[in-house]
A and B are shown apart, each in its own frame.
Chain A
Amino acid sequence: MAGAPAADPSKVLRITFQAAETGFDPVRVSDYYSGTVISGIFDPLLTYDYLARPAKVVPNTAVGLPEISDQGRIYRIRVKPGIHFADDPVFKGAKRELTAADYAYSLRRFLEPKNASPYAFLFEGIAGIETPDRYTIVIRLKNPDFNFSHVLAFPLGGAVAREAIEHYGDESAARPVGTGPFRLKRYVRSSKIVLEANPGFREVLRDGRRLPLIGGVEISVMEETQSRWLAFQRGETDMEYQLSEVATAFMTADGQLKEEFAKRGIRLERSVDPEIIYLYFNMQDKTVGGLAREKIALRRAVAMAFKAEDMIRIIRKGQSIRAHYPIPPGVAGHDPEYRSSIPYDPRAANALLDKFGYRKGADGYRRLPNGDLLALRFSSTPTERDRQYDELMKRSLDAIGIRLEIHKDRFPELIKLENQCRLMMRIAAWIADYPDGDNFMQLLHGPNSGQSNNACYRSPEYDKRYEKSRLLPHGPERDQLYREMARIMETDTAWLLIDSRYRNVLLQPRVKGFKKHPVLHAEWLYIDLEVRR
């Protein structure tokens, strides 16, 4: 029967996080896990269609897609009337309706300095927000941007209630009040997050049934892979996607689920994450930076010697694909035909270094052309995963006779140095905030040096094309610019693109209707569970 709430309290989805969340105030988080929970509790104006691929923006709490005017400078959206926030003591027993003003408040919060929101950059294009009536919101942008709908579909862009934020203050992180399908029931920081279906959730139908179908989600934070894998196998969890380290335990070489698991009804959903992992060189560094030809040769040689294949085969255990293009699959602008012009070829790399005067000294390691000592410094964090990067780096550089120094520091320290353009090399990752190529191509934009441009790369050729691409909607014209930009980056060798990881989602037989979405964090709204016996 349509209309009747379908959420069954006995259907509780049990999942794990491999790292602790940081909290549930949308403007204050930047980690994937907190974002996942937030997207279950709060409602953005727009969202993505669950099943459409590539990802397609659809209205969420909005009545329809935004009306875009003034050549992409003005977005006008109407909020559906009759949507209410989940009951909370802060509303003093009254029903609290969601209005355009809530969205205006919520979006402005990202830009308030005191909130120091990590995602402020997404909203920096906003020139002003107006609410001409209770249900209409008008957003004016500083520059034309045809991709702004993606920002409005950003999962952290959900509406918060001003009363709740002001009332809970610092505690907002632990007391989220939203209009989404779930609400927080029990919360033990960095250990256990229990959500239950929001009984007052607006009517969203799928196949004639009212969503959500499950009665709740129980999330356990489990840092150790062994624990997560054993727990899943013992049926203690329903869904597990953070098992790439042990993927060979349940997958055959060609990416199929092993027979023994398939027989038990366990299913495997496999997709490539919209991310790129890359080795960058600091283009302002004295040793590896700069656009002088012998510096390009040095970087090129390192890139040619980098054992990307071992990275995929051994460190990733086969759970990633080689990245050739700065925009990963599943993101608008990705070119599956594009091939990197930098091959793995240590012998050629050696020859290249010889040609440019990087001669080997008595110790078997190369010197700079001027005879000075040459040592490359690779920065990483003190984790077991990064230790594997270190080892790979060492093996790669040993093959071309370049001395390696490992610089270890905690992540925040690395980021700090990186933003001051003081690291030499690091393996970095970028996952799509929204499925558009711009989100990736901006990583090499010169003015972003010291922020997201961690290579501190400044190429007039690149920047010229990037600025041009900003004014274009997704299409062949922009794609052509992107391809040229990718080539410019390659010939300068600011980055070596390494890989994009597979996401292998293991599902217990009782989980129904799951389909991995490239952008949406939490698919909980749409899935169903068989009632446990």
Chain B
Amino acid sequence: MKYVVRRLWQFVPTLLGVVLLVFFLFNWVGGDPAYILAGKIANPELIENIRRSLGVDQPYWVQLWIFVRQVATGDFGVSWATNERVSQIFATRLGPSLTVLLPLLIISTLLAMAAAMLVAYWRGSLTDRAIMIGCTVGQSISILVYILVFQYVLAYQLGWFPVQGWGGTLGENLLRYAALPVLVGVVVALAPDIRLYRSFFLDEINQDYVRTARAKGLAEGRVMWLHVLRNAAIPIATNVMIQIPGLLAGAFLIERFFSIPGIGREVILAVERSDFPVIKAVTIYVAIATMIINLAADLLYKALDPRVELE
């Protein structure tokens, strides 16, 4: 508990750094949103008026102070583009993002773990080499190509999935609309995951305790699925956890092609519109989420690995 409190304190300098970096990038060198808000015909008074209402006419240090205050209070005001409350944007986007991400992570992790364990067990064999080279090839194709081809073939030509869409209920989304995006995500994630997890398993397979387990007379299945897996699960779980924040914002291609109202798509939209409150909020929120997930990953690490002492 003390550890958690101490780690939470450590968030402060990091968050401050994030604030500075974000501010530097978006306020100082980023675009001026007044012009896009002004519409087709912009006269100077209108622009000034907008700039004043947005606060971008203030000196930089005032703007920075406002930003810091926003971070502290968690109130990022309203979107410049739509006047919607920023906090609400994030709240409504998180659900769909997670609806795709969680199944994607769970399925790809389980499949990759199973496959990685098998190839690690048969390391050096023809199967192993073939699967590894297959994974390398699969990894070398851009996610863009996967999306284009999967949507075209599986949804359009074969009609197995809807081409795109997002419904109102979780069940509908999960079973109907998220299926193909999740499939694409799993296919993309599988190849690198198998390669990575295989190396984790190989590290464990050569450990002394595996020999002990065999010397005890345990069956191979139990040696692999209990003793080896439990140890390899530690780096795997950490790897999965640290992927989450990146995926949260990084799944924008999938979200755009399959019309999923997720965070990634919102980020791209906000960048295109220079909608700074949204960009700032999403960046700060995701940064905080990243830190919390990292902390959670450490706690999970502790739960999985009794050796770890959290200090």
A interface residues, Cβ below 8 angstroms from B: 20, 22-23, 25, 28, 30, 113-114, 116-121, 170-174, 186, 188-192, 220-224, 226-227, 230-231, 233-234, 236, 409-413, 415-416, 419, 430, 433, 448, 450-452
**C-alpha gap A192/B53 in the complex (Å):** 29
Q: Cβ of B163 and Cβ of A412 under 8 Å apart?
A: no
Question: What number of A-B contacts does a CB cutoff of 8 Å give?
Answer: 151
- Kindly provide the distance from the CB of A404 to the nearest chain B CB, expressed in whole angstroms: 24
Q: Cβ of B261 and Cβ of A419 under 8 Å apart?
A: no
**C-alpha gap A189/B271 in the complex (Å):** 16
Q: Mark B78-96, 1 if CB is under 8 A from A, else 0.
A: 1001111100010010001
For B168, list chain A residues within 8 Å (CB): 186
| A–B pairs, 19, beta carbons within 8 Å | A20-B269, A22-B81, A113-B49, A118-B39, A171-B84, A173-B82, A189-B261, A220-B165, A223-B265, A224-B256, A230-B152, A230-B155, A231-B162, A231-B164, A234-B162, A415-B35, A415-B38, A419-B44, A452-B41
B interface residues, Cβ below 8 angstroms from A: 31-47, 49-50, 53, 78, 81-85, 89, 92, 96, 148, 151-152, 155-156, 159, 162-166, 168, 256-261, 265-266, 269, 271-274
For B78, list chain A residues within 8 Å (CB): 170
For B53, list chain A residues within 8 Å (CB): 114, 116
**C-alpha gap A198/B39 in the complex (Å):** 30
Please tell me which one of the listed residues B35, B40, B83, B156 contacts residue A230 in the complex, with CB atoms under 8 A apart: B156
Kindly name the residue among B32, B81, B89 whose own CB sees the greatest number of chain A CB atoms within 10 A: B81
Q: Cβ of B257 and Cβ of A116 under 8 Å apart?
A: no
Please tell me which one of the listed residues A22, A116, A231, A410 contacts residue B163 in the complex, with CB atoms under 8 A apart: A231
Please tell me which one of the listed residues A23, A192, A221, A430 contacts residue B83 in the complex, with CB atoms under 8 A apart: A23
**C-alpha gap A410/B265 in the complex (Å):** 17
For B152, list chain A residues within 8 Å (CB): 226, 230
Q: Given A119-B39, A415-B36: A220 and B259 within 8 A (CB)?
A: yes
Q: Cβ of A236 and Cβ of B165 under 8 Å apart?
A: yes
**C-alpha gap A412/B272 in the complex (Å):** 9
Residue of B whose beta carbon sits closest to that of A25? B83
**C-alpha gap A230/B258 in the complex (Å):** 11
Q: Cβ of B82 and Cβ of A419 under 8 Å apart?
A: no
Q: Cβ of A120 and Cβ of B46 under 8 Å apart?
A: yes
Q: Given A172-B83, A413-B31, A451-B42: A189 and B258 within 8 A (CB)?
A: no
**C-alpha gap A227/B92 in the complex (Å):** 23
For A188, list chain B residues within 8 Å (CB): 92, 166, 261
- Kindly provide the distance from the CB of B207 to the nearest chain A CB, expressed in whole angstroms: 48
Q: Cβ of A30 and Cβ of B40 under 8 Å apart?
A: yes
For A189, list chain B residues within 8 Å (CB): 82, 84, 89, 92, 261
**C-alpha gap A451/B43 in the complex (Å):** 5
**C-alpha gap A113/B37 in the complex (Å):** 13
Q: Cβ of A234 and Cβ of B155 under 8 Å apart?
A: yes
**C-alpha gap A412/B245 in the complex (Å):** 29
For B39, list chain A residues within 8 Å (CB): 30, 117-119
Q: Cβ of B83 and Cβ of A416 under 8 Å apart?
A: no
Beyond A174-B82, A188-B92, A236-B165, 6 extra complex contacts between A and B, CB < 8 Å: A116-B49, A170-B83, A171-B85, A191-B261, A191-B265, A234-B159
**C-alpha gap A409/B272 in the complex (Å):** 10
**C-alpha gap A227/B156 in the complex (Å):** 10
- Kindly provide the distance from the CB of A339 to the nearest chain B CB, expressed in whole angstroms: 28
Residue of B whose beta carbon sits closest to that of A24? B82
For B155, list chain A residues within 8 Å (CB): 230, 234
Residue of B whose beta carbon sits closest to that of A117? B39
- Kindly provide the distance from the CB of A367 to the nearest chain B CB, expressed in whole angstroms: 34
For B50, list chain A residues within 8 Å (CB): 116
Q: Cβ of B261 and Cβ of A412 under 8 Å apart?
A: no
Q: Cβ of B38 and Cβ of A223 under 8 Å apart?
A: no
- Kindly provide the distance from the CB of B179 to the nearest chain A CB, expressed in whole angstroms: 15
Q: Cβ of A236 and Cβ of B162 under 8 Å apart?
A: yes
Q: Cβ of B38 and Cβ of A116 under 8 Å apart?
A: yes
Q: Cβ of A118 and Cβ of B37 under 8 Å apart?
A: yes
For A236, list chain B residues within 8 Å (CB): 162-165
For B92, list chain A residues within 8 Å (CB): 188-189
Q: Cβ of B162 and Cβ of A411 under 8 Å apart?
A: no
**C-alpha gap A190/B93 in the complex (Å):** 10
For B162, list chain A residues within 8 Å (CB): 231, 234, 236
Please tell me which one of the listed residues A409, A419, A430 contacts residue B47 in the complex, with CB atoms under 8 A apart: A419
Q: Cβ of B156 and Cβ of A412 under 8 Å apart?
A: no
For A416, list chain B residues within 8 Å (CB): 31-32, 34-35
Q: Cβ of B83 and Cβ of A173 under 8 Å apart?
A: yes
Q: Cβ of A222 and Cβ of B84 under 8 Å apart?
A: no
**C-alpha gap A409/B261 in the complex (Å):** 26
Residue of B whose beta carbon sits closest to that of A14? B165
For B35, list chain A residues within 8 Å (CB): 412-413, 415-416, 419
For B156, list chain A residues within 8 Å (CB): 230, 233-234
Q: Given A227-B151, A415-B36: A170 and B85 within 8 A (CB)?
A: yes
**C-alpha gap A405/B187 in the complex (Å):** 41
Please tell me which one of the listed residues B33, B83, B265 contacts residue A412 in the complex, with CB atoms under 8 A apart: B33
Q: Cβ of B49 and Cβ of A411 under 8 Å apart?
A: no
Q: Cβ of A412 and Cβ of B32 under 8 Å apart?
A: yes
For B40, list chain A residues within 8 Å (CB): 30, 118-119, 430, 433, 452
**C-alpha gap A119/B39 in the complex (Å):** 7
Q: Given A121-B41, A452-B40: A224 and B257 within 8 A (CB)?
A: yes
Question: Would you list the 9 A-B pairs with minimal beta carbon distance, nearest first?
Answer: A118-B39, A191-B261, A30-B39, A412-B36, A415-B35, A416-B35, A23-B82, A230-B163, A230-B156
Residue of B whose beta carbon sits closest to that of A430? B40
Q: Given A234-B155, A450-B44, A451-B41: A192 and B166 within 8 A (CB)?
A: yes
- Kindly provide the distance from the CB of B98 to the nearest chain A CB, expressed in whole angstroms: 15
Q: Cβ of B166 and Cβ of A191 under 8 Å apart?
A: yes
**C-alpha gap A222/B269 in the complex (Å):** 12
Please tell me which one of the listed residues B37, B148, B261 contacts residue A190 in the complex, with CB atoms under 8 A apart: B261
For A234, list chain B residues within 8 Å (CB): 155-156, 159, 162-163
**C-alpha gap A484/B189 in the complex (Å):** 63
For A413, list chain B residues within 8 Å (CB): 31-32, 35, 274
Residue of A whose beta carbon sits closest to that of B47? A419
For A190, list chain B residues within 8 Å (CB): 261, 265-266, 269
**C-alpha gap A396/B24 in the complex (Å):** 39
**C-alpha gap A230/B148 in the complex (Å):** 11
**C-alpha gap A311/B216 in the complex (Å):** 77
For B256, list chain A residues within 8 Å (CB): 223-224, 227
Please tell me which one of the listed residues A118, A172, A174, A224 contacts residue B38 in the complex, with CB atoms under 8 A apart: A118
Q: Cβ of A192 and Cβ of B261 under 8 Å apart?
A: yes
Residue of A whose beta carbon sits closest to that of B164? A227
Q: Cβ of B259 and Cβ of A221 under 8 Å apart?
A: yes
For B274, list chain A residues within 8 Å (CB): 410, 412-413
